[in-house]
Amino acid sequence: MRYKLAEGAKPQVLLLLAATVITVALWWFIPFGAYVIYPIRLFVTFIHESSHALVAVLTGGSVQSLTISADASGLTYSAPSGFIGGLLTSSAGYLGTTIFGVVMLFLIRKNFSPNKILTALGIFVGAMLLVFTVISPIFNLLSLQVAYSSVLFTIFAGGILAAALIGLGIFSNAYIARFAVAFLAVQCLLNAITDQITLFVINAPFTGSDIQNDAANMANATHLPGILWVVVWIGLSIVMISLGLRLYAVNKNRASANETVFED
C-alpha cells in the first residue's frame, strides 16, 4: 500500500504551504511580524479556552468564566463533574485547538464554502463569548475569580474577532476566504505544538513545574508528573495532525501483482 498526492488536493496543498511559510516568516524573520499575527494569536487562545469550557459543560461540569489577556494568555475557571471530567477538561485546551485546526483542513479539502466556514467561526466565537464571558460571570458575580478588566478585555477582543470573521465570511471573495481559513488552521496547529513545547520546558524538573498550567492541573489530579501529560498531549497532537494532513492531501493506492494501481 502506498500513498500519493491527490490531484484534486494540489491547489489546497499549495495554499497550505503558502500559509505555513507566511506564518513562519511573520513569527521569526519579519520585524514586528508578531504584531501582525497578534489578533490571530488571540483567536487561537480563545479556541484553547473555549475547548476547556465546552468539555467542562459536556462532561457535566460548570464554567464560571472564560477570559483572555492582552499578552495572549487565557484562563477558564470551571468546576468539573468529577475526576474523569476534570482530566478531560484539563486536556481539552491543546488537544481541542489541534482538533479545531484539523477540522478546518478537512473542510477546505472537502470544498466547503470558505466564506461559510469563516461566518460559522465568527458565530462560534460570539456564542462562546456571550455564554462564558458575559452570562457565566454574571451568574457567578459574587464568587468571580478574575478581574473585571479581564472580562472587559475579552469582550472587547472577542467581539472584534467575531465581527472580523463574520465580515470576512460575508464580504471577502472565495480566494481570500480560503486563504484565511488555511491561515487560521495553520495557526491553530503550529501554536498547539509550539505552546506544548513551551509547556514541556515549564514542567521540566527544576525549571518551573510549580507554575499553574494545564499540565500542573493534571499533575495535581493524578499525582503523576505534569511533564508526562505534556508528552502524551504532544504525541496525540502529532498523530491527529498526521492523520489530518493525510486526509487533506493524500490518496491511498493499493498495487496488484502486475503493478496496476487502483485508487480507493
What is the pLDDT of the chain when averaged over all its residues? 83
Residue 261: helix, strand or coil by DSSP? strand
Give domain status of residue 262, yes or no: no
State which residues form the domain around 25.
Answer: 2-252
Question: If you average pLDDT over each of 24-38, 94-108, 155-169, which comes out highest?
Answer: 155-169
- Taking the complete model, does pTM exceed 0.95, yes or no? no
DSSP 26-53: IIIISTTHHHHSHHHHHHHHHHHHHHHH
The band of 3, judged by pLDDT with boundaries at 50, 70 and 90, is low
Tens of pLDDT along 115-133?
999 999 999 999 999 999 9
Least confident of 51-60, 162-171, 237-246: 237-246
Give domain status of residue 162, yes or no: yes
Q: How many CB atoms lie within 10 A of CB 116?
A: 13
State the DSSP H helix or E strand holding residue 90, giving kind and residue range, or none if neither: helix 83-109
> Total domain count for the chain?
1
In this structure, are residues 191 and 44 in contact, taking their beta carbons and an 8 Å threshold?
yes
Give domain status of residue 264, yes or no: no
Give domain status of residue 221, yes or no: yes
Give domain status of residue 263, yes or no: no
Name which of 82, 147, 154 is nearest 90 in CA terms: 82
Give domain status of residue 260, yes or no: no
